[in-house]
Structure 1
Amino acid sequence: MIGKLKGTIDEIGEDHVVVDVHGVGYVAYCGARALSGIAGLGEAIVLFIETVVREDMIRLYGFPSAAERDWFRLLQTVQGVGAKMALGVVGTLSPSDLSNAVALQDKAMVARSPGVGPKVAQRIVAELKDRMPAFSGAALDEAFGVKRDIGGGTAAAPVADAVSALTNLGYARDQAASAVATALKEAGEGADSKILIRLGLKALSR
């Protein structure tokens, strides 16, 4: 089982790269974001690898970070999501974008990925929602809890009101949720919406 490749770029294709590791060329299929970040032929590269074995093929999928590889694996646990679609999702959205989309139940963000329709996007955000804390671990801070509660409609009224107010002021919902999470940490769980809005605006101005 190949877990990581470290070598030089020997070839760049539309959907793959060939990594030369001590004279052996490995074909690794990559998403659009990963391919766009590759410098050029002969440059050093490190890819985290997921090996997919089928009856008629063995294919290596390469990712610039372990987090992207983990998302690739997790996405395939959703009904109707195969390797090709999962690669399209991680090739379109970064791990933080995916975390936010699932936390906020933002199926429209997921549906931006090639080949992902509204129904599949809905399944992705719905089925992965309860698994996110265990999956993301230390990668998520207090902001994730706020975003998750907002997405599920379980956030306390002052929190939801503060996020709504910041959104109405023109801030993206993700930005607003992060700012309110920061405000909540500073003001405490019992803070009312006015305090959260004021502290949220302060956080956004930094």
Structure 2
Amino acid sequence: MTSLAEIWPPFGLTLTTPRLTIRPVFDEDIPSAVAAARSGIHEPGKSPFSMPWAELPDDELAPNMAQWYWRCRANFTPDSWTLLLAVWHHEEFLGVQDIGAKNFATLKTVGTGSWLKRSAQGQGFGKEMRAAVVSYAFDYLGAEVAESDAAVWNRKSLGVSASLGYELNGIFRDGWGDTVQEVQRVRLTPTTFKRPDWTLKVQGHEAFYSYLGSEQLPAGD
């Protein structure tokens, strides 16, 4: 029988760190993702997201999350893609780490975003999962830049960025829901990256890289 990874190669990608298994969100993972989000991600009224999706009522949150996962798959092309990765610690769903790019073949730049349920915060998981995806981007995809951003008050996110070697890259004003936020951009390169003291394990890279339309694999694989 044909596997899901053969039908859609991104499904075959798995990144493994000392504590985490990071792989695409499957349909059967959506209930776990919804439960994690419903358990709480941030303080009420203090959304770290440009779209305050985590504050939706329960009856709206679940379909909104499912539609987002499906939309990212449906809109995935080599020129514009976002890969949503479920973050697992043993059998526990902790959150989602995303990585994406536009015109990657030319720009060699990726962007990242993430969320963790509150019970998993403060344990270094955020740094570990971000280190995993930027390691993969630099060493396997051949990225030259990794970018992210966070509200200027979001010390936790910006602290993770600083600990990995991201450099400040300007502030801009943006509309987040019905508020205006000052947002800090950050930028990382292979030279400034403060690499973790562990080696990332990768499965399913060749098929995923080929699906992105690349002809040659970087030296990392």
| TM-score, length-scaled by structure 1 | 0.31
Q: Which has the higher helix share?
A: 1
The structure, 1 or 2, with the larger RCO (C-alpha pairs under 8 Å, 6+ apart) is 2
| TM-score, length-scaled by structure 2 | 0.30
* Rg comparison, structure with higher value: 1
